[in-house]
Structure 1
Amino acid sequence: MSYFVTGATGFIGRFLVPELLGNRQGEIFVLCRESSLPRMQQLISRWGSERVVPVIGDLGAPDLGVDPEWIAEHGGEVEHFFHLAAIYDMTADDATNDAMNVEGTHNALSLARSLEVSAFHQVSSVAAAGTHHGVFDETMFDEGQHLPSPYHRTKFESEKIVRESGLPWRVYRPAIVVGHSETGEMDKVDGPYYFFPVLKRLRDSLPAWLPLLGLDLGNTNVVPVDYVARAMDHLAHLPGHDGKAFHLVNPDPQPVVDMINAFCGAAGAPRFATPLRRVPTESALGALPKRLRPLNVINSALRSAPAQAMLGQTAGRAGIPPEILSHSSFESTFDSRRTQQALAGSGIDVPDLESYAGVLWSFWEENLDQTTARDQDVRRALEGRHVVITGASSGIGQVTALKVAQAGGIPVLVARGREKLGDLKATIEMRGGQAHVFPCDLSDLEAIDTLCERLSNELPSVDYLVNNAGRSIRRSIRLSHDRFHDFERTMQLNYFGAIRLIMGLFPVMREQKRSHIVNISSIGVQTNPPRFAAYVASKAALDSWSNVVASEVVGDGITFTNVHMPLVKTPMIAPTKIYDKFPTISPAQAADVVIKALVEKPHELNTVLGNAGAVAHTVAPKAAFRVLNMAYHVFPDSAAARGSDDAKRESEQVMLARLFKGIHW
């Protein structure tokens, strides 16, 4: 048994191929343009299998442009032909949709006939239902539905071509496909992702507890890509299902406002409340003629030329295509009972959006948010510049590297883990950027000297240095009497390692006369939280050293910024489980602060609470220490020290954490 897959480099295809590799036998031939062969080779390397074989061709050519000799050689060998290559873009024009979705399907069917395949698997879309009102089940297709856009029309037409092809076929109609439910991986901004920049602005400008007035925008339907890929693999191999369509949808329609609120919760943005309950109003509105129902009136108005032009100047400037707004909800309810029955017992089902909205948001914020790329000030400051980032293999350093590359900068990745740095470099290069990898153990002073020599000799410049690598230890002095090595190790990495690196790069920086150093310090330096004596002391030492040295080297064009970062949800704080319930900022939010430090080059960047803590220690030190002592008793050294009043103690902890958001307790 062998397979032929078009669109293997596309979003769904990148997850379907690993499913076939893991669950099936035989070669998997993947269509690939010659210009895309390097990218395909990268994917094959990532999949780690020699069973994936690229076949050079073109979606727009007869028989997909595959060499006739190859077709003759493999005729009768391919059992399953998966046609995923298409355009999934509501904003694309007629010509593009026709060429990709309709002509591409004609050409795929032609090749499938030449190969004498046993089954043709067409990835369609629920868009084939157009604006059909009411239930649209899996037996329905041509119901006279209105097809409001080129995308809807060509999805319908391509499915019709397959149905009339004479080949054994199966059709899969996914709903709106979002990122992987476990990793959040997504390849582009689409569907609900268009609204994420707006949610980010709400988060950054309004408190999360503030309720916002929302509108009942009808129902939508989203499913994660891993569900779609797993379901397709399973359904394709069930006997006796040729000539059937399958709805890869959430069985329960999702109100648009609930979907938005799930992402608001993930982002830490305020949520929307609908002004009217839906249940008592739905029956009354259902008595109205279809064209007079409020949602249909709104959607019709939004699709009008004047509205589209106006939206282009409003929503369009916020990154939301006008075409998307008129298709943000479905008039159809998609019945998926056939699919659910076929998947019964497989363990494949649709996870609840609330359970994975957080990973979708994090992946978007760290990988797809284009705010940095669109900021002209950032691009002017970073484009073509080499930015050395320590601790780049995860957390703040990793996201900072992605954002630097997004702005045209060249991140120089430094950390112990060569493999993780290599993966990050590959990610940056796949997105069209550049990066360099310099593995180094920054707790080893001799290794740092070697690193400085290599950076000075192998890079054309060292324009920026971000001292991000660090070690945090949370332990009271009462439990540290026999652990003096905690203080030594923390100082070794956070202080001695950082200044050894800075001093080693000073000669090349002096020659350039335009270098900037960003030290990732801590809000703890300003607030002095208990149990962080080793960590805060090491960060305070780096702050003080930089403040003194800054006055000596400013004439050489070398400047410093100390960022007093609040609590960030990174792997470094993961071992402290009580932080799971604390309000934190994300690595992407922290990386935005680092980018600001690189571009604006202030002496220091602080939070309001950090400044308030510093003032309190200056103006009323005794009162400040009493508050900190109270926190010392509320937060235990370990889970074992909590005693029997866990519930009460935990509520006190969460209350203090929210009141003093961002402080390391």
Structure 2
Amino acid sequence: MSYFVTGATGFIGRHLVGELVDHRDGPIFVLVRQSSLPRMEALIRQWGSDRVQPVVGDLAQPGLGVDEAWVAEHAGSIDHFFHLAAIYDMTADDATNDAMNVDGTRNALELADRVQAGCFHQVSSVAAAGDFHGRFDETMFEEGQPLPSAYHRTKYESEKIVRDEATVPWRVYRPAIVVGHSETGAMDKVDGPYYFFPLIKAMRDRLPAWMPLLGVDLGDTNVVPVDYVAKAMDHLGHLPDHDGQAFHLVNPEPQPVVDTINAFCAAAGAPQFATPVDRSVAAGPRSLLPNALRPLRLMSAAIRTAPAQLVLEQTIGRLGIPPEVLAHTSFPTVFDSRATEAALAGSGIAVPDLESYSRTLWAYWEENLDTSTGRDAKTRKALAGKHVVITGASSGIGKVTALKVAQAGGIPVLVARGKDKLEDTKTTIELRGGKAYVFPCDLSDLTAIDRLCEELSRELPTVDFVVNNAGRSIRRSLKLSQDRFHDFERTMQLNYFGAIRLIIGLMPKMREQHGGHIVNISSIGVQTSPPRFSAYVASKAALDAWSNVVASEVVGNGITFTNIHMPLVRTPMIAPTKIYDKFPTISPAQAADTVIRAMVEKPHEINTALGNVGAIAHTVAPKAAFRVLNMAYHVFPDSAAAKGQAPAGTEPEAAGRESEQVLMARVFKGIHW
């Protein structure tokens, strides 16, 4: 087999080429503009295959502008021609949509004809159905449906060109709204439901998660992850006897807009929307009205008017939600995908439930696509051009902090044991136009830290910030630690000795430059003293105490400290403790936002309200505080890992305690139980 793919640098295209590399044989020719060759070469390295071969051309040129000699050489040898290059943007203007979607399709068909492609695979969209009301199956196309935007119109027209003008066999794929990868969350731009994520984040940061919000029935939408789309296209494209057919790459069940929003609210830890009037209650009276007079259709029509769009531009537009997108949040169409499901039967390819991967999508957006840090003028002023040494930068809080520092114009200095992961983070930062340095170091090795400090002092013009984030956590009761004194030694070695050795080593550099700020990632446990964390909390408390003493000695040199008593964060460090899977935690991005605040505002401490309550309770009512902690000690037993056992199935007693554990975790949100 041999393949030709347009749009291979695009979101769906990258994943489709990955599928072809992994599961098919033969050369894969990918169309690329001359100016995009470096990006394509980087992608080829990621795919790890020399079967992917760039072909220079241009979507806007007849025959895609491919060299005549190449066409002559490969005529009759291209089995599958996948055309994905298009614009997938509801906010784009008419001219751009026409040039990319309509003219581009005609140019691709011309090349497919000249190379005598075995099959032309057109990636269309459910937008080709326009505002069709009712069930739209895969045999339907020209149904007189209204086409309310340039995007809808050009998706319809480009599919019609394939149907009417193709001289080679063809197949059409109509994806619904495509979101990130269901396993990694990877997404390359803000689109579809992602436009609403900043608003969800604002609600999360300002309102308690338990507060119900009033919602209304906004109809149904349909979202699918990009990995499903790519896998389905690869499989469907190679099935025999399906030429001349269209496939709906959609969720078989329409997804209520409110449920979709609530899935992301739950993933973010934001309050959710309740709809007092369920659609089943309203269905009776609503069904008596003609389509044109039904509330949802009237609201949709009103939103699309020029006055409404102007008002929306000045309101939600300022929150980053394009008014054009709001007008198309729901589908009046139900997309029938029974033919696609039948064709995929036995392949193992199916649409996963949104709830199963919504947290993955949210985490990726929060860590990679949320640009609020870079847009904040105060943050940019504090961090632009500053060198920020971040330990534990290969994952979790450290990695996300590095990405946010770079976004604000700072220069992250990445420190951790694993060089490869640090290099990956550096590459990510550089691809986004930033700058970063990598200094691998085992921070439990004091001699290695000394060498690191010498390198940093010699090679960096300044050390403006140090973020002591690397840490080790051990959850084990004292009775299980009788023969494990090394737990205390190892924890203290990294969390305390390693941290202060780094600070001491960099202190001459900061004195020389007359300033510097040190951020220590401490723990809420220092304030609350949760059971089973004696090794971890003691090491963090030691770092707190040391920093508080040293801060008074160096403040005259312009050197300051912030201790962050961080609540429970969903990082790889807590993964071995399985009971945390159901606990309310903050995300690494939320923790990184706190670190950024520490660098910008430079307070002496950053605490949570519950941490402050715990500290006060230990002062004014220590006996009551220890009774509560003793109760938690019995509610939350030692894990199998702490006992040195392999994880076993759920015991009846443990299952009975689970509700108590979750309840207590929610009441005392953020504490390491």
TM-score range, shorter chain: over 0.9
Report the equivalent of 2:593.
592
User: In the aligned structure 2, how far is the partner of 1:460 from the partner of 1:121?
Assistant: 54
Which runs of 5 or more structure 1 residues have no equivalent in the other structure? none
Q: Secondary structure of the equivalent of 1:525?
A: helix
User: In the aligned structure 1, how far is the partner of 2:49 from the partner of 2:227?
Assistant: 20
Contact 1:471 1:490 survives alignment (8 Å)? yes
C-alpha deviation, 1:431, in angstroms: 2.1
For residue 315 of structure 1, what is the amino acid of its counterpart? I
User: In the aligned structure 1, how far is the partner of 2:409 from the partner of 2:34?
Assistant: 27
Instruction: Confirm whether residue 664 of structure 1 aligns to residue 672 of structure 2.
Output: yes
Instruction: Confirm whether residue 655 of structure 1 aligns to residue 656 of structure 2.
Output: no
Q: Secondary structure of the equivalent of 1:164?
A: helix
User: In the aligned structure 2, how far is the partner of 1:572 from the partner of 1:408?
Assistant: 29
C-alpha deviation, 1:646, in angstroms: 2.1
Contact 1:39 1:430 survives alignment (8 Å)? no
User: In the aligned structure 1, how far is the partner of 2:505 from the partner of 2:67?
Assistant: 57
User: In the aligned structure 1, how far is the partner of 2:105 from the partner of 2:160?
Assistant: 10
User: In the aligned structure 2, how far is the partner of 1:122 from the partner of 1:469?
Assistant: 49
Matches within 5 A, 1:143-542: 143-165=143-165, 166-542=167-543
Q: Which moved more, 1:195-204 or 1:281-290?
A: 281-290
User: In the aligned structure 2, how far is the partner of 1:283 from the partner of 1:650?
Assistant: 42
Which runs of 5 or more structure 2 residues have no equivalent in the other structure? 644-649
Q: Secondary structure of the equivalent of 1:246?
A: strand
Q: Secondary structure of the equivalent of 2:331?
A: coil
User: In the aligned structure 1, how far is the partner of 2:385 from the partner of 2:115?
Assistant: 49
User: In the aligned structure 2, how far is the partner of 1:277 from the partner of 1:645?
Assistant: 39
Give me the identity figure in percent: 76
Q: Secondary structure of the equivalent of 1:131?
A: coil
C-alpha deviation, 1:460, in angstroms: 2.4
Report the equivalent of 1:646.
654
Q: Which moved more, 1:345-354 or 1:33-42?
A: 33-42
Report the equivalent of 1:34.
34
C-alpha deviation, 1:387, in angstroms: 1.2
Contact 2:184 2:360 survives alignment (8 Å)? yes
Contact 2:309 2:323 survives alignment (8 Å)? yes
For residue 407 of structure 2, what is the amino acid of its counterpart? Q
User: In the aligned structure 2, how far is the partner of 1:214 from the partner of 1:98?
Assistant: 37
Report the equivalent of 2:69.
69
Give per-residue Cα distances to partners, 1:74-108, cap 9 Å, x unaligned: 22221111111111000111111111111111221
C-alpha deviation, 1:111, in angstroms: 1.6
Q: Which moved more, 1:91-100 or 1:651-660?
A: 651-660
User: In the aligned structure 2, how far is the partner of 1:459 from the partner of 1:91?
Assistant: 44
Give per-residue Cα distances to partners, 1:32-60, cap 9 Å, x unaligned: 12222222122111111111111122211
Q: Which moved more, 1:580-589 or 1:54-63?
A: 54-63
Give per-residue Cα distances to partners, 1:355-405, cap 9 Å, x unaligned: 111111111111111221221111111122221111011111111111111
C-alpha deviation, 1:618, in angstroms: 1.4
User: In the aligned structure 2, how far is the partner of 1:298 from the partner of 1:338?
Assistant: 33
Report the equivalent of 2:646.
none
User: In the aligned structure 1, how far is the partner of 2:275 from the partner of 2:652?
Assistant: 42
Q: Secondary structure of the equivalent of 2:79?
A: strand
Give per-residue Cα distances to partners, 1:141-169, cap 9 Å, x unaligned: 11111111111111111111111222211
User: In the aligned structure 2, how far is the partner of 1:552 from the partner of 1:38?
Assistant: 52
C-alpha deviation, 1:173, in angstroms: 0.3
C-alpha deviation, 1:412, in angstroms: 1.3
Matches within 5 A, 1:50-129: 50-129=50-129
User: In the aligned structure 1, how far is the partner of 2:451 from the partner of 2:86?
Assistant: 50
C-alpha deviation, 1:245, in angstroms: 0.8
Q: Secondary structure of the equivalent of 1:520?
A: strand
User: In the aligned structure 2, how far is the partner of 1:55 from the partner of 1:616?
Assistant: 69
For residue 145 of structure 1, what is the amino acid of its counterpart? Q
Contact 2:116 2:168 survives alignment (8 Å)? no
User: In the aligned structure 1, how far is the partner of 2:283 from the partner of 2:405?
Assistant: 49
Q: Secondary structure of the equivalent of 2:29?
A: strand
User: In the aligned structure 1, how far is the partner of 2:277 from the partner of 2:404?
Assistant: 41
User: In the aligned structure 2, how far is the partner of 1:286 from the partner of 1:66?
Assistant: 55
User: In the aligned structure 1, how far is the partner of 2:206 from the partner of 2:356?
Assistant: 26
Give per-residue Cα distances to partners, 1:249-283, cap 9 Å, x unaligned: 11111111111111111111121111222124334
C-alpha deviation, 1:303, in angstroms: 0.6
C-alpha deviation, 1:137, in angstroms: 1.1
Paired positions, count = 665
TM-score (norm: length of structure 2): 0.97
Contact 2:487 2:535 survives alignment (8 Å)? yes
User: In the aligned structure 1, how far is the partner of 2:652 from the partner of 2:67?
Assistant: 74
Contact 2:383 2:410 survives alignment (8 Å)? yes
User: In the aligned structure 2, how far is the partner of 1:4 from the partner of 1:110?
Assistant: 13
Q: Which moved more, 1:648-657 or 1:320-329?
A: 648-657
C-alpha deviation, 1:226, in angstroms: 0.6
For residue 411 of structure 2, what is the amino acid of its counterpart? I
User: In the aligned structure 2, how far is the partner of 1:517 from the partner of 1:657?
Assistant: 31
Q: Secondary structure of the equivalent of 1:493?
A: helix
User: In the aligned structure 2, how far is the partner of 1:93 from the partner of 1:120?
Assistant: 27
User: In the aligned structure 1, how far is the partner of 2:450 from the partner of 2:38?
Assistant: 36
Q: Which moved more, 1:81-90 or 1:640-649?
A: 640-649
For residue 58 of structure 1, what is the amino acid of its counterpart? D
Contact 1:262 1:354 survives alignment (8 Å)? yes
User: In the aligned structure 1, how far is the partner of 2:298 from the partner of 2:659?
Assistant: 48
C-alpha deviation, 1:131, in angstroms: 0.6
- Structure 1 residues 84, 643: CA separation in 2 closer, same or farther (over 3 Å shift)? closer
Give per-residue Cα distances to partners, 1:228-263, cap 9 Å, x unaligned: 000000110111111111110111111111111111
Q: Which moved more, 1:453-462 or 1:249-258?
A: 453-462
C-alpha deviation, 1:430, in angstroms: 2.1
C-alpha deviation, 1:354, in angstroms: 1.3
Report the equivalent of 1:136.
136
For residue 84 of structure 2, what is the amino acid of its counterpart? L
Q: Which moved more, 1:624-633 or 1:338-347?
A: 624-633
- Structure 1 residues 283, 137: CA separation in 2 closer, same or farther (over 3 Å shift)? farther
- Structure 1 residues 321, 643: CA separation in 2 closer, same or farther (over 3 Å shift)? closer
For residue 277 of structure 2, what is the amino acid of its counterpart? L
Instruction: Confirm whether residue 556 of structure 1 aligns to residue 557 of structure 2.
Output: yes
C-alpha deviation, 1:287, in angstroms: 3.4
User: In the aligned structure 2, how far is the partner of 1:468 from the partner of 1:570?
Assistant: 12
User: In the aligned structure 1, how far is the partner of 2:603 from the partner of 2:116?
Assistant: 67
User: In the aligned structure 2, how far is the partner of 1:447 from the partner of 1:591?
Assistant: 26
User: In the aligned structure 2, how far is the partner of 1:649 from the partner of 1:82?
Assistant: 54
C-alpha deviation, 1:581, in angstroms: 1.6
For residue 278 of structure 1, what is the amino acid of its counterpart? R
Q: Secondary structure of the equivalent of 1:152?
A: helix
C-alpha deviation, 1:196, in angstroms: 1.1
Contact 1:30 1:52 survives alignment (8 Å)? yes
C-alpha deviation, 1:514, in angstroms: 3.1
C-alpha deviation, 1:428, in angstroms: 1.8
C-alpha deviation, 1:622, in angstroms: 2.0
